[in-house]
Amino acid sequence: MFEPSLPEEKLSAIENLSFGIVDKIFLFFEKSFWPDDCAGVQLVWKEGPEDKDVYESLSEGETWKKTWFKKITGFDTVARHPTALCGWITGREALYMESLQDSEIGAICVRLLRSFTGWSVPEVSKTLITRWGSDPHVRGSYTFISDGVNGVEAHKALASPLPPKDKCRGRKHLQVLFAGEATHVNFYTTTHGAYLTGVREAERLISYYAD
């Protein structure tokens, strides 16, 4: 996409920083069924059910798909949406979930809530599910640092504007700027990290044109 090509250190940072999947499962109900002081339900598994009728066709290497829902960490209440809960799921299980129908996902989540809480949990009225991993324009959610990778160097290299300052002459500086959570040394993998990097690059432009 870039001509001339990006500098080697930036290409290396892109190659070394991994890109993972975090999906959200929003469950909407006609009315809330949880206590007013409840901020959410976190799931801690000891063992879980397996639906052999549904998953009997899976190969041995895909047996984890039988219990993909065990990767759901819990369901949190949602600010300004008093009858909604938000579930979180990551990794390959999230990517597999994205291939399922919303109705199936919603039914499984209701089953989990009933099993873990013992509450009278109604059926969902609506679901809203992210599918960042299978979105052709995204293919993931957040960066993460793999083993053996110097994250600080990678984030700094990715954040560096082009062309590098020491190779600029006159007013040719700041041809391309880079922002996003992957360019923040401390707050990568967060929305506020993405926001702060946008502020950082805006301030860079302000400082540039103010000189």
d(CA 207, CA 210): 5
The first and second tokens of residue 98, run together, are: 């994205």
Which residue range(s) make up the domain with 87? 22-129
Residues 178-207: tens digit of each pLDDT: 999 999 999 999 999 999 999 999 999 998
pTM: 0.82
Lowest mean pLDDT among 1-10, 42-51, 142-151, 155-164: 42-51
Query: What is the Cα–Cα distance from 98 to 101, expressed in whole angstroms?
Result: 8
Whether 140 maps to a domain, the answer reads no
Report the pLDDT value the prediction gives residue 149, as an integer from 0 to 100: 95
* Per-residue pLDDT at 170 exceeds 60: no
Q: Specify whether 68 is located in the same domain as 92.
A: yes
In a domain, 3, yes or no: no
Last residue of a domain, one of 99, 129, 159: 129
Cα–Cα distance for residue pair 79/76, rounded to 1 Å: 10
Tell me if 113 sits within 8 A of 106, measured CB to CB.
no
- Co-location of 113 and 173 in the same domain: no
Greater confidence (31 vs 49) lies with 31
Whether 134 is in a domain gets the answer no
Does residue 97 fall inside a structural domain? yes
* 12 and 36 belong to one structural domain: no
Sign of the CA dihedral running 198, 202, 207, 211: positive
- How many whole angstroms separate alpha carbon 17 and alpha carbon 154? 7
Query: Does residue 54 have a pLDDT over 50?
Result: no
- Other C-beta atoms closer than 10 Å to the C-beta of 152 total 11
Pairing of strands 142-145, 17-20: antiparallel
Residue 58: what pLDDT? 52
d(CA 144, CA 159): 15
- Per-residue pLDDT tens over the stretch 107-130: 999 999 999 999 999 999 999 999
pLDDT at 136 over 90: yes
Of 149, 173, 124, 205, which Cα lies nearest the Cα of 17?
149
Q: Are residues 35 and 78 in the same domain?
A: yes
| Phi, psi (degrees; rounded to nearest 5) at 76 | -105, 150
> How many domains would you assign to the chain?
2
